[in-house]
Chains A and B, each alone.
Chain A
C-alpha cells in the first residue's frame, strides 16, 4: 500500500576538521550513533549534540585528534531515497564534550555539543560600528556584509515600518546586534519580526508574523492537502510508527500535550492585555503617549486581513474580551506603564533607534511584544511524523494546520462525521523543533507550536 520507500534517514557524511589535525580530516560518519538538532524561532542558529562511539582510541589523547572545543564538524543528512537532502553540508563547531561514558576498556561514547559555526565565530566578533538603513537592511548588512557573520540571509518579506535610522552598535556580538534591531522592528500592524534558522539552509531568516499568518498554511507536498490530523485510532498508530513517510490514513501528529495554556494572568503582568507607553522628547519637550488595548489590536489585525473575522468580531481565543472586572473588560485596564525618553537630532538628519514618527508607531513597540507573548499562551508540544517536514523542507517559521478530534465520546467515527475540536484545531506556527536521528531508526521530531488562527472550516 505504501508508495514510499520505508528506509531510515542516512547520515551521509560527518567529518571533523581542525588546523591542529594537520590537514588530516577525521571522517566519523560510521561512528555516529545519534544526532540531535534544535531549531527555535527566537534563535537565528542551530544547536545540537552528537553521540560518537570511539572504539579505537581516537580521542584518548594519544593520537592526533584531541578535542579542544574549536573543531569544525561538517554534517550532511540525506533523505530516505536520496530524492532530496534533509541537510546539505552544514558546518558546526564543537563547543564542548558534554559527556564521555566508557563501557569497557576498549570503547567510549562521547557526546559533543554543537553550534552553528557562525554562532561560535559570532562571539569573537563583538563590534562597535555605525550602521544606517531600515531595520531589515541593517540586519541584512550584519548577516551578509561587514565581515561579521558571513552567512546567508533568507526570508525577506518586506521591511519593517520603522523608517531609515542610524544606530551605533555598542560593542555587541553580530547576533546580539541582530536581535537588538529585530526587537525594534514591527510591521505596520504592530506585528513582530522573528530571526531564526532551520535545517535546510544555513543562515539567518528574517520574517514578520504578519507574513507567517498571512501566508497561511505553508507546508506543501503532503497527502493531506493542508491538514495534519491527530486521531485516537490505535490500529493506525502502530503501522504509522513504522512508516518513514506518512500515508493518507496515518496520523501525522503522533502524540500531543497541551500545557500551560490560557495563562491570562501572565499576559496581564507583561502588559499584553492592556498597557500604556509614553515618550518624552527631552529637547522638544513634546510628550507622546499611547494606549494599547489587545481588543483594539486584534480587531485591527482582523480588519487588515491578518487574522480571521467572524460575526464582525476578531476570531481569536486568547483574550477574554467579555468578562468584566469592576464593571469593565480587562483590556480597558493598563497593567503596565512603559516610559521612555528620546532626544531629537542626536544623529542629525537620521532617526535614532528610538525615534517614532507618530503615536501609532510608538504603540507598535508594545503591540509586537504583546503578540509574541500571546502566541505563547496557545502553545502545544507534540511529536510529529518527520518525513512530511523533510520532504516539504519545512521547519520553524512555517505554518501547519493541525486537526484534533473532539473528546466527545458520542462521536460516531464510523459515519465519517468526526467532530472537530475547534478550540484546539487551527493554523499553528512551528515555534521550536527538536530532531532526533538514531541510527537505523525513524527520526523523531518533537515540535512546540503556537496557534495562530481557527482556520479549520469543515
Chain B
C-alpha cells in the first residue's frame, strides 16, 4: 500500500507557485491596511458568478526593505484597481495564500464592455464627412477604434500601408459603427454570414455587433471569400495609386466601384497610418 501524504511538502519553501493577478480593490477597510484584493489569472475564474469580488483574497504585499513594515510604520503601497501585480503563493499548489511582490506597469486599453458601450453613443460627424472638416471634432472613441483596428491588422500579418488601406476604408464607410450593416457596410448575405461567424466565438447572436468580432470577420472574409482582394492587397506597397491599398480595398473588398478612392478616403487611410507612427 502506498504512503499517505495528507500534508503537503515538509517545508513550505519547497513548493513554490508564482502568479500574475489584477487588483480589483486597492482601498482596504480598517484592519486590512497594506493589502489589495486580487483576481489571479489562471487560478480564479473570471466569472463573477463563480467567484464574486467579495470572495477574492486580500493579498499581503511585500514592501521594500527600506520601509519598517511594523506596527503601521513605513510607506503604504500605491497600487490601484486595475494594476497588474506579480507574486507567489505561500502554500504552493493549494493556492489560497497569495503574496504580492510587485506591479507590472502597463498601457491601458478599453475593456470589452467599454468597447461595446461605445455603440450606445452617437458620433458627432456624419458618415462620409470630409476629414478636413472633422478632425477637430472627432471623438476620442473613434480614434481608439481606428488605433485598435490598425494594431489588429498589423498583428494579422499586413504591412502598415496595407492595414491603413483597410482601416481607412472602414472608417470612411461606417465610422466603425457596428450596428446596421456593420463596419464594412455588408450586404444582407454577408451580414448573415457574419452572424454565423460570430456564433463560433460566442453563443449570443447579438454579439455579431461586437467590434472585435467584426474585425475578425473582415480578416476571415479576406482569407476565404475575398481572396482576390487579399492577394492584391498583399502586393500593395503604398496607400495611394491604382494598385495602392486604399483603391484595392475599395474596389475589391468594399465592392464600391461607383467611384474611385477619393481624396477623403485617402485622407482617412493616411490618418489611420498616423496612429501607428
Contact = CB atoms under 8 A, between A and B. Distances in A.
Is B truly associated with A? yes
Interface of A: 127-130, 132, 166-168, 170-171, 180, 183-184, 192, 260, 266, 270, 277, 282-283, 336-343, 345-348, 352-354, 365-366, 368-369, 372-373, 376, 379, 431, 448
Interface in B166-214: none
15 contacts: A130-B51, A168-B95, A168-B96, A283-B60, A336-B10, A338-B7, A340-B12, A343-B97, A345-B31, A352-B97, A353-B94, A369-B4, A369-B6, A376-B4, A379-B1
A128 B45 contact: yes
B3 interface: yes
A373 B96 contact: no
Contacts of B56: 130, 168
Contacts of B78: none
Contacts of A192: 6
B276 interface: no
A64 B90 CA distance: 54
Interface in B38-60: 42-45, 50-52, 54-60
Interface residues of B, number: 35
Interface in B90-113: 90-91, 93-99
Contacts of B31: 345
A342 to B, nearest CB: 7
Contacts of A167: 96
Contacts of B94: 170, 180, 353
Interface in B137-190: none
Given A170-B94, A170-B95, A260-B1, 10 more contacts: A128-B51, A168-B55, A277-B7, A341-B90, A343-B97, A345-B31, A346-B59, A346-B98, A348-B58, A354-B97
Contact of A346 (B6, B12, B57): B57
B97 A346 contact: yes
B10 A183 contact: no
A343 B4 CA distance: 26
Contacts of B12: 339-341
B259 interface: no
B220 interface: no
A365 B90 contact: no
The residue among B6, B50, B52, B59 with the most chain A CB atoms within 10 A of its own CB is B6
A127 B97 contact: no
Contact of A130 (B10, B42, B52): B52
B96 A346 contact: yes
Interface in B52-71: 52, 54-60
Nearest to A285: B70
A368 B6 contact: yes
Contacts of B90: 282, 341-343
A289 to B, nearest CB: 14
B58 to A, nearest CB: 6
A282 B60 contact: yes
A352 B55 CA distance: 11
A129 B59 contact: no
A168 B6 contact: no
Contacts of A184: 6
Given A168-B96, A345-B32, A346-B57, A354 B91 contact: yes
Nearest to B45: A128
Residue of B7, B32, B45, B51 with highest tally of chain A CB at under 10 A: B7
B95 A339 contact: no
A141 to B, nearest CB: 14
A441 to B, nearest CB: 29
Given A347-B55, A354-B96, A365 B6 contact: yes
A276 to B, nearest CB: 11
A372 B58 contact: no
A136 to B, nearest CB: 16
Given A168-B55, A346-B97, A341 B10 contact: no
A180 B94 CA distance: 8
Closest 8 CB pairs of A and B: A130-B55, A128-B45, A170-B95, A183-B6, A372-B4, A376-B1, A369-B6, A341-B90
B45 A129 contact: yes
A169 to B, nearest CB: 9
A448 B1 contact: yes
A333 B69 CA distance: 38
Contact of B7 (A132, A171, A366): A366
A14 B3 CA distance: 37
A128 B93 CA distance: 13
A168 to B, nearest CB: 6
B48 to A, nearest CB: 11
Interface in B1-40: 1, 3-8, 10-12, 31-32
Given A168-B95, A170-B95, A128 B6 contact: no
B93 A345 contact: no
Contact of B10 (A171, A339, A347, A431): A339
Among B11, B95, B98, the most chain A Cβ lie within 10 Å of the Cβ of B95
A170 B93 contact: yes
Nearest to A377: B1
B3 A266 contact: yes
B97 A168 contact: no
A234 to B, nearest CB: 31
A373 B8 CA distance: 15
A183 B43 CA distance: 20
A192 B4 CA distance: 11
B92 to A, nearest CB: 10
B155 to A, nearest CB: 29
